[in-house]
Amino acid sequence: MKDLLEKRDKAAKAYRDLIKEMQDAERAPGADDRSKVDNMLAEIDTLDAQIREAQTAQAEKVREMDEALQNMVIGERTVVNPVETREKEDRESFLRFLRSGDGIAEQREMTTTSGGTGGYLVPEKFFNELKEYQKDLCPIYDLATKSTWDADAVFPVVSAFGETTIVSEGSEKTGVTPTIAQVNLTGFQFIYMVDVPETLIRKSAFNIDEKLAGWWAKSHASVAEDNFAEGTGTTMPYGLAARATAGTNSAEDDAIAANDVVNWYFDLKAQYRKRASWIFADSTIALIRKITNTVTTHGALNYVWMPGLGATPDTLMGKPIYASDGFSSLAAGSACGVFGDISEFQIVEFGKPSLIRDPYTVANYGQVRFVGYRLIDSDLPVKEAVITCAIVD
């Protein structure tokens, strides 16, 4: 992992140095320069993919070490942690439920209008694994503010903060009442379904709970990210594109220029730029990476996209840029991405996810069906905190 990170930093630094060299020499890039840039970008992409694979393998190794440490023995005395003991008991009970339908699990009545009744609340550790998987798979989910509520979520929104004036001694100032509205989130039901072979479930070497958490998270991530990006708020949660303030449309209907990026940057109010990030579809980022801006009369070019160094993400005009499959590719008249303080985007999960084990529906195929339920909603209460990036219709 260390070698890969060092190679990635070296490649990113070489890219930055080449761009700076062209700028300092005030020369337009020739064919050799463009070829070097393309090769450097390809090398950075390859290293990024290798780093992601290594990080996944490293996380699995850490998990295995943690499990080994839970059974650590000093002399003849076993080190017992009450929290870990409870987690272990919860997992064993949950595993019995998954493998055979037995075990003592926390049961609840489903409170939504669809999905029937039944369900078992998943253990806290399983819930945390779901969320961690989703953070890795969904950049919007990772950057947003997440919370868990038992009932409807209400967020106050102050649209007028009152008024501050200078008053001379002895003069009277009448107070101004702030304008406060509220955003209510009630939840939309996300249902996950998977059929697993009975023979596989009963194998002790097969960690069904971990596999199920990973499958569920990957399936949920794709649908949820689509909603968090472009949800309309009717039969699905509100997404960023539907609630953000509209930015300046690009001048062309099939491309993005450096001036468009500059316009979008300054469309966002200054107080939100400090924590701002860009989010686009992969295909749009591929176009943005090629954008150059002529900065001198001699034709020297400035690439507005820069590769990140170390653990820092790639940047666009100095702000982090992330790829999300939730946003559509470049299309006239529609948002191709957003820019702003994504932490203002609120994602609420109501209670814990619940899981039904159905041993009957696909029993004739030798399988067990698992049906998972999550009640989730999202919105952007402070709409000016994020702007949409769109091209002309």
Containing structural domain, residue 144:
105-156+183-281+324-393
Please indicate, yes or no, if residue 332 is contained in any of the structural domains.
yes
Given a cut of 80, whether residue 268 has pLDDT beyond it is yes
Phi first, then psi: what are they for 317, rounded to 5°?
55, 40
Contact 155, 185 (CB under 8 A): yes
- Average pLDDT of the chain to the nearest whole number: 79
d(CA 325, CA 371): 25
Contact 121, 351 (CB under 8 A): yes
Please indicate, yes or no, if residue 245 is contained in any of the structural domains.
yes
Please indicate, yes or no, if residue 362 is contained in any of the structural domains.
yes
Q: CA angle at residue 126 from 123 to 129, to 5 degrees?
A: 150
Please indicate, yes or no, if residue 9 is contained in any of the structural domains.
no
User: What's residue 332's pLDDT?
Assistant: 72
Residues whose CB is less than 8 angstroms from the CB of residue 255 and which lie 6 or more positions away in sequence, other chains included: 287, 330, 391
- Three-class HEC string of 87-134: HHHHHHHHHHHHHHCCCCCCECCCCCCCCCCCCEECCHHHHHHHHHHH
Please indicate, yes or no, if residue 260 is contained in any of the structural domains.
yes
Q: Confidence class of residue 218 from pLDDT cuts 50, 70 and 90?
A: confident
Select the more confidently predicted residue: 113 or 137. 137
In sequence order, what are the beta bridge partners of 73? 78
Distance set, CA 183 to CA 53, 190, 382 (Å): 40, 21, 10
User: What's residue 18's pLDDT?
Assistant: 80
For residue 107, the number of C-alpha atoms closer than 13 Å in the C-beta half-sphere is 9
d(CA 182, CA 91): 39
Q: Which helix (H) or strand (E) holds 48?
A: helix 31-70
Q: What is the DSSP string of 2-34?
A: HHHHHHHHHHHHHHHHHHHHHHHHT----HHHH
Given a cut of 60, whether residue 107 has pLDDT beyond it is no
For the full predicted model, state whether its pTM sits above 0.75.
no
Contact 173, 346 (CB under 8 A): no
- Which of 24-28, 276-280, 322-326 is the most confident on average? 276-280
Given a cut of 80, whether residue 83 has pLDDT beyond it is no
Please indicate, yes or no, if residue 3 is contained in any of the structural domains.
no
Number of separate domains in the chain: 1
User: What's residue 116's pLDDT?
Assistant: 38
Please indicate, yes or no, if residue 91 is contained in any of the structural domains.
no
User: What's residue 208's pLDDT?
Assistant: 83
Q: How far is CA 101 from the centre of its chain?
A: 33
pLDDT digits (tens, 9 = 90+) for 40-55: 888 888 888 888 788 7
Please indicate, yes or no, if residue 350 is contained in any of the structural domains.
yes
3-state secondary structure of 152: coil
User: What's residue 253's pLDDT?
Assistant: 63
Specify the DSSP class assigned to residue 344. Answer: G
CA end-to-end distance (rounded Å), the chain: 46
pLDDT digits (tens, 9 = 90+) for 286-343: 888 877 765 554 555 566 777 766 667 888 888 999 999 889 888 776 788 999 999 9
User: What's residue 231's pLDDT?
Assistant: 93
Specify the DSSP class assigned to residue 391. Answer: B
DSSP 3-state percent helix, strand, coil across the chain (nearest 5): 40, 25, 35
User: What's residue 120's pLDDT?
Assistant: 66
Report, as an integer, the average pLDDT of 54-66: 73
Q: Which residues of 137-161 are buried (b: 16+ CB within 10 A; e: fewer)?
A: bbbbbebbebeeeeeebebeeeeee
